[in-house]
Amino acid sequence: MKRTLLTLAAALTVAAPAMADLALATSKNCMACHAVDKKVVGPSYKDVAAKYAGQKDAADKLASKIIKGGSGVWGPVPMPANAQVNEAEAKKLATWVLAQK
């Protein structure tokens, strides 16, 4: 029992940062249009991560798109500007999206 609890605690410590960013994405309304592993209104975050894998400037580029919105990369539907997100939050969200596999 004690061992199980320790394992659980270790697992939670590893998972916590990722969960915090999911909570941020949820609180910023991103998950109204996106899911991690399936297309909703916008592309799934796994698809986004796969598309930009290996591109060094991807996090900056996506952070700026998250704030300003834009269209034409994934289809005809535009992403509206997300004015509720500041630069630091956008960078954090972009980094988190790019880490989805």
- Contact residues for ligand HEC, defined by CB under 6 A: 25, 28-30, 32-34, 41-43, 48, 62, 65-66, 70-75, 77-80, 82, 85, 93-94, 97
Nearer to ligand HEC, 11 or 60 (CB): 60
Nearest distance, CB of residue 15 and ligand HEC, angstroms: 20
Residue 6 or 78: the one with the smaller Cβ distance to ligand HEC is: 78
Q: Rounded distance, CA 96 to CA 1, Å?
A: 33
Give the whole-angstrom CA distance, residue 4 versus residue 93: 32
Q: How far is CA 92 from CA 4, 39, 40, 72, 77, in A?
A: 32, 21, 21, 23, 24
Of residues 36 and 79, the one with the C-beta less far from ligand HEC: 79
